[in-house]
Each structure stands twice: as C-alpha cells, then as structure tokens.
Amino acid sequence: MINYITLIGLLAGILSIIGYLPQVWKTYTTKHARDLSMGWLTLTLLSAILWFTYGILSNSLPLTITSAFTATMNLSLSIGAFWND
C-alpha cells in the first residue's frame, strides 16, 4: 500500500530540488553568480539545514533526503557567488 503522506513529501521535495536546477545550471554555464542575493542564499541555506535537521529528528526520509539535496545545491550557488565574484 502506498503511503500518501510520504508520497506528498517526496513530491514537494522533488519540486523544491527542480526549482533550484535552472539557477544552478545558469550559474555554472555563465561562470558567475553576481546577480544572486547573498541574503537569499544565506536564508535558504539555513532553512534547508534546519529542515534537514528536523527531517532526521522526526524520522522523515523524504524531508531528510530532499533538504540535503536542496542544501547542497544552495551551497554550490553560495560558493560560486563568493569565489567567482
């Protein structure tokens, strides 16, 4: 039997990850991240880390996995913004 709550969590996380992909790709191909807001990057990275922690503490596999991917992509954008500009 399908656990619909887990399915909804996975879908929400996957959409969050997909939402980052165009920005990560654009930053990678243009080799600059000067248009990104450091405030936004900082807040969303902190949010992803907190969601990851919450996912671990609440035993939520979808939340843990997707927030880890989101934090990783955000961190790559943050590093690109910091080192390349």
Residue 31's Cα: distance from chain center in Å? 20
Long-range residue pairs from 26-32, CB within 8 A, at least 24 positions apart, any chain: 27/77, 27/80, 27/81, 28/80, 31/84, 32/80, 32/84, 32/85
**What is the distance between the alpha carbons of residues 38 and 43, in angstroms, rounded to a whole number?**
8
The pLDDT assigned to 2 comes to 64
Structure tokens at 33: 């991240």
Q: What is the pLDDT of residue 84?
A: 62
pLDDT on residue 56 = 95
The pLDDT of residue 1 is 57
The pLDDT score that the predictor gives to residue 67 is 93
| Regions in the chain scoring below 70 on pLDDT | 1-2, 84-85
List, in order of start, the domains of the chain with CATH numbers.
4-84 (1.20.1280.290)
pTM of the predicted protein model: 0.77
Amino acid 54: pLDDT? 93
The pLDDT assigned to 9 comes to 81
